[in-house]
Structure 1
Amino acid sequence: MNYDVILPAAGSGKRMGAGKNKLFLELKGKPILIHTLEVFERDNWCRGIYLAVKDSERDFIQSLLVQYNITKVRAMPTGGDERQHSVQSCMKAIGSGEIVLVHDAARPFIVEPTIHELAEAAYEKGAAIVGVRAKDTMKRVEEGIIQETVDRSTLWMIQTPQAFRFELLQQAENHAERDNFLGTDESMLVEREGESVYMVESSYENVKITTKEDLVFGEAILNQRIGG
């Protein structure tokens, strides 16, 4: 089975407070972006990688691709102000396909078996996303006051990749653009189409590097995986 993967990489990373794109920060001497790209570079199921980037960063990213021998990047369209717009730019660059994944470029710890399980689920059912079960007690709060304790057995923390049949995501993106609708993720757009989205269980290690504390956690994950 083959898939294409979209990586929105045009964010500002303000919560990191690094003064530059957080994807260029290093974990064990290698940029976060490269760690993520290498996962898909190694995967034989991955047909092509599409990066949504800032125009001002395109040349630097291209130099990283050459430096680290990343060969599967097929296009680097300009990213939009919102993730949804960046994904749509990449969808247009792909043109057509069978299965398309959307993955946070700042999640470098996704593993191939999970990717394959996800791609197969999307192929069979149309749409699937990865996540992990909520571990903590969950409460609904309004104006600082607890309203209820929510049954966590039905709650999942959503991650990426999210995978879809190409035509389904394309339709959902087009309808959202037509209706001026902005979703929080691609799954929300597909749910809006009345389609069922299936869950694939991932790992708590599949973290998104968002804060300085996440960098420490990321280093620990890499130390465990490769030693150091």
Structure 2
Amino acid sequence: MVSAIVVAGGRGKRMGTVQSKQYIDLNGKPILYYTIKKFLESKLIDNIILVVPADEIEYCKKEILESNLLKVNKIVAGGKERNDSVFNGLIEAKGSDVVLIHDGVRPFVSDSIIEQAIKYAERYGAAAPGVMPKDTIKLKDKNQFSINTLNRSDLVAVQTPQSFKFDLIYDCHKRIRTENVLVTDDTMVVEHFGNKVYLYEGEYTNIKITTPEDLVIGEYFISR
């Protein structure tokens, strides 16, 4: 069984809005609508678990799911940090063989990426899509001076869904909760315990909508 955990806990600070960014309108529909719809339409996904802040559950049910005729298997409350929210989702995904963990504000994930996520998780245990950065990446010192230029061909801007064998990601998330470790995504959780993550080719269209500029790009993608 393959489960998709859609994590939608953003508050929209970088977007500059009071409204949580996953509910911002994108061509007449909230961003989260497009994200959930992609997984609902995939024949490879058996189970969809939506994670949102506890104080937004009722709003999300009525304004996003019911009003747009969307169905998820479970909607659960997020936690204080992102890894807490993911762990709450993983608890509801017990019984799965593979789990895909995806950003709620990444609405343009393709069928190809979802298919590869499952395939590589089954093969390697942990996988994530990514793209080579388009810009030159430099390291800087504390005084804002450049100290090194990195080779772009060695770098990957990691996207989601990040996919895992369920037992691996559940065990790692459970263990890291007892440690004071800052993690920004789920690949870091499994890497912390010595596991390797297979990186496959993502897509530049698989953007995470975080700033007002991203909304302009998102509108363009939908218009196409």
TM-score by length of 2: 0.96
- State the alpha-carbon separation in 2 of the partners of residues 170 and 92 from structure 1: 8
**Does the residue aligned with 2:76 lie in a helix, a strand or coil?**
coil
**Does the residue aligned with 1:163 lie in a helix, a strand or coil?**
strand
Summarize the alignment of residues 125-204 of structure 1 with structure 2, pairs less than 5 Å apart: 125-142=124-141, 143-204=143-204
- State the alpha-carbon separation in 2 of the partners of residues 175 and 212 from structure 1: 37
Residues 176 and 182, structure 1, Cα contact 8 Å, conserved in 2: no
2:213 is aligned to: 213
Residues 84 and 182, structure 1, Cα contact 8 Å, conserved in 2: no
CA RMSD of superposed structures (Å): 1.1
1:103 is aligned to: 102
User: 1:100 is aligned with what amino acid?
Assistant: V
- State the alpha-carbon separation in 2 of the partners of residues 131 and 13 from structure 1: 24
Q: Paired residues, what number?
A: 222
Measured after TM superposition, the shift of residue 67 of structure 1 is: 1.9
- State the alpha-carbon separation in 2 of the partners of residues 216 and 52 from structure 1: 26
**Does the residue aligned with 2:109 lie in a helix, a strand or coil?**
coil
1:60 aligns with 2:59: yes
Measured after TM superposition, the shift of residue 15 of structure 1 is: 0.8
- State the alpha-carbon separation in 1 of the partners of residues 156 and 201 from structure 2: 9
Measured after TM superposition, the shift of residue 11 of structure 1 is: 2.2
Measured after TM superposition, the shift of residue 12 of structure 1 is: 1.0
Measured after TM superposition, the shift of residue 96 of structure 1 is: 2.4
Residues 133 and 156, structure 1, Cα contact 8 Å, conserved in 2: yes
**Does the residue aligned with 2:120 lie in a helix, a strand or coil?**
helix
Measured after TM superposition, the shift of residue 10 of structure 1 is: 2.2
- State the alpha-carbon separation in 2 of the partners of residues 12 and 174 from structure 1: 25
Q: Give structure 2 stretches of 5+ with no counterpart.
A: none
Measured after TM superposition, the shift of residue 35 of structure 1 is: 0.5
- Structure 1 runs of 4+ with >2 Å offset: none
Percent identity over the alignment is 36
- State the alpha-carbon separation in 2 of the partners of residues 95 and 150 from structure 1: 41
1:6 is aligned to: 5
2:78 is aligned to: 79
1:124 is aligned to: 123
Residues 137 and 149, structure 1, Cα contact 8 Å, conserved in 2: yes
**Does the residue aligned with 2:140 lie in a helix, a strand or coil?**
strand
- State the alpha-carbon separation in 2 of the partners of residues 20 and 154 from structure 1: 37
Measured after TM superposition, the shift of residue 182 of structure 1 is: 2.9
Please say which of residues 156-165 and 2-11 is displaced more in the overlay: 2-11
